[in-house]
Amino acid sequence: MFGDHRRSLILSQTAAFIGLIVVGSWVSIPFFPVPLTLQTLFVLLSGAVMKRYAVIPTGLYVLFGAMNLPVFHNGTAGIGILLGPTGGYMLGFIPAACIAGMAYEGSGRSRHAAGFILGTGTIYAIGMAWLSVSAGLSLVDAFIVGVIPFVPGDALKAYAAYFVAERYLSSEQGDI
Amino acid sequence: MAEILQYIPGSGLFHQLHPGTKILFIILVSIITILTTSIAVLIALLLVLFILALAGHLFKQVIQQMVLVVFMSVILYLITIVTVPEGTIVGYLIPSFIPAIGGNLPITIDALIVGTVLTLRFAILITAFQLFVISTQPRDLVHTMERAHIPADYTLMFVIALRFIPTLQMEGKRIHEAQLARGYHPGEGFIGRIKSVAPVMVPLVSNSLARATLLGLTIDIRGYRTRKRTSLRERKMGMTDKIAIPLMAAVAIAFAYSFVMVYLS
């Protein structure tokens, strides 16, 4: 190719995934016990498609939110949200995408599935730690409030991400 | 929510400032807000922001944003009341005349103080960023990012992502309608909404990635990164900036001095 094709591909895929994460965070699906947003689905998918470069879209997503673009859940934005009780989940997206990406650099179904589970776990760990610090809860309380209600929805999303990723990667005949 | 950067044309104080100056302003306000815990300082800062908004003819937009702040403050107060149970009790969240559950969840003065500080912080940050966003054109923001030596790749990603968001939103709607037209009936209510996700998500992801691949090829073929880029319009620092930057430096020094003094004593 003429210039650095890999680089321009990363560039445009980054833009696409930021768009997808933003659109996913605006859609809220009623679910038990808390409503689902599709943010983590696309965060995990970005890892599957962009491998370890997935830190770029997730990092920029958080940065955009900090710059007050209405990209967080339900169109909220700003440093206030990032420093608020739920900010840790947003920060957790960055390592989660990286972990999912590193899992997808290798092959094997169990490796891919493990990457998604570990990625989701990272989001929980950072979100829970930040929740307990910012709201002054004990870690056990933060676990009850900030992790358990989300487990059924996130299990569903991780499964959906795995399903979509396998379908996408098997239909794509390698890089161009 | 198709408009993501809600720029409002105008010629007030904030429109005249260089974007770089405005970013400095936001950083200064954020640092003061996060470090201080004094309610008086926070209220003063919020009033200053309101006066600046009035001077910049942006008061109406800032007040509109306050609805969100009021809504968030209720949540912040509830969280602090539940999580700070120690201190002097002034009342109960559940009135004591209600049988069985009455008299639970005490409201303490400490909780109210923490809640007020959190609410004021939230209001100040929201207002400062709102002032920045509605008075800055995306074009100027991109130029400022370039001048700050942020790599061209990142500014380009920023612009493309901004462009992609409304497109993807439209695409999601279109795919949903297309699936409905093919006789796809997700069902009503709770389970239906969940079931309707997969047939929309798979085409949405693969379409947007196909679009991204095409865009990547286009960028490459048009010779991105092969020669030096120049821009048509540049925003120069004006008189207002030259006054505003020393003023902010003075405030920063004064705040740092008082903060260190309080910390040492």
pLDDT of A99 strictly over 80: yes
pLDDT band of residue B50 (cuts 50, 70, 90) is: confident
pLDDT of B129 strictly over 50: yes
Alpha carbon of A121: minimum distance to chain B alpha carbons (Å): 23
Domains: count for chain A: 1
Q: CA A54, A56, A61, A62 torsion: positive or negative? A: positive
Write the pLDDT tens digit of every residue in B204-263: 888 888 888 888 888 888 777 666 666 777 777 888 888 888 999 999 999 888 888 888
- Write out the two tokens for B81: 């009341």
pLDDT of B51 strictly over 50: yes
Instruction: Report the C-alpha gap between A75 and A98 in whole angstroms.
Output: 25
CATH code, domain carrying A72: 1.10.1760.20
Nearest to A113 by CA among A124, A123, A103: A103
**In what helix (H) or strand (E) does residue A62 lie, and over which residues does it extend?**
helix A55-66
pLDDT band of residue B1 (cuts 50, 70, 90) is: very low
Q: What 3-state class would DSSP assign to B108?
A: strand
**What is the residue type of A18?**
I
Nearest to A106 by CA among A114, A117, A118: A114
- How much is the average pLDDT of B172-177? 86
Q: How many CB atoms lie within 10 A of CB B73?
A: 18
- How much is the average pLDDT of A48-69? 84
| A60 vs B76, B132, B157: nearest CB | B157
> Tokens 């920029």, residue?
A60
Residues in chain A closer than 8 A to B4 (CB atoms): 69-71
pLDDT at A94: 92
| CB spacing of A76 vs B68 below 8 angstroms | yes
- How much is the average pLDDT of A1-12? 73
Nearest to A104 by CA among A171, A41, A54: A54
| B223 vs A3, A45, A163: nearest CB | A3
A176 touches chain B (CB under 8 A): yes
Write the DSSP symbol of residue B5: S
Residues in chain B closer than 8 A to A70 (CB atoms): 1, 4
Q: In the beta sheet, which residues pair with residue A28?
A: A37
| CB spacing of B168 vs A20 below 8 angstroms | yes
pLDDT at A122: 92
The answer to whether B25 and B70 are in contact (CB under 8 A) is no
Query: Which value does ipTM take for this structure?
Result: 0.75
- Write out the two tokens for B223: 């010779």
Question: Which residues fall within 8 angstroms of residue B61, CB to CB, at 6 or more apart?
Answer: B8, B53, B130, B134
pLDDT of A95 strictly over 90: yes
- Write out the two tokens for B243: 């006054």
* Chain-centroid distance, C-alpha B249: 24
| CB spacing of A29 vs B193 below 8 angstroms | yes
At residue B106's C-alpha, the angle toward residues B101 and B108, to 5°, is 170
Instruction: Report the C-alpha gap between A86 and A173 in whole angstroms.
Output: 39
Q: CA A133, A137, A139, A142 torsion: positive or negative? A: negative
Q: How many CB atoms lie within 10 A of CB A128?
A: 23
Q: For A14, which residue in chain B has the nearest alpha carbon?
A: B157
Write the pLDDT tens digit of every residue in A121-175: 999 999 888 888 877 777 887 788 778 888 888 888 888 888 888 877 777 654 4
Which residues in A9-166 belong to E strands, given as ranges? Answer: 28-29, 36-37
The answer to whether B133 and B91 are in contact (CB under 8 A) is no
pLDDT at B177: 87
**What is the residue type of A75?**
G
Q: What 3-state class would DSSP assign to B230?
A: coil
The answer to whether A96 and A119 are in contact (CB under 8 A) is yes
What mean pLDDT, rounded, does chain B reach?
78
Instruction: Report the C-alpha gap between A57 and A52 in whole angstroms.
Output: 11
Question: What range does the domain containing A112 cover?
Answer: 5-172
Instruction: Report the C-alpha gap between B97 and B102 in whole angstroms.
Output: 6
- Write out the two tokens for B105: 């969840």
pTM: 0.67
Residues in chain B closer than 8 A to A56 (CB atoms): 157
| A23 vs B68, B172, B197: nearest CB | B172
Q: How many CB pairs (< 8 A) connect A and B? A: 159
Q: A56 or A6: which carries more pLDDT confidence?
A: A56
Buried b (16+ CB within 10 A) or exposed e, B174-188: ebbeebeeeeeebee
> Tokens 């922001």, residue?
B49
pLDDT at B239: 84
Mutation target vs B (from A14, A60, A141; most B CBs, 10 A cutoff): A14
- In percent, how much of chain B has pLDDT > 70? 82
pLDDT at B225: 66
Count of residues making up chain A:
176
- Write out the two tokens for A87: 């900010």
For chain A positions 94-123, those within 8 Å of chain B (CB to CB) are: none
* Chain-centroid distance, C-alpha A172: 22
The answer to whether B226 and A37 are in contact (CB under 8 A) is no
- In percent, how much of chain B has pLDDT > 90? 1
Give the phi and the psi of residue B61 in degrees, each rounded to 5.
Answer: -65, -40
Q: B73 or A70: which carries more pLDDT confidence?
A: B73
| A23 vs B122, B165, B225: nearest CB | B165
Q: For B160, which residue in chain A has the nearest alpha carbon?
A: A15
- How much is the average pLDDT of B73-79? 76
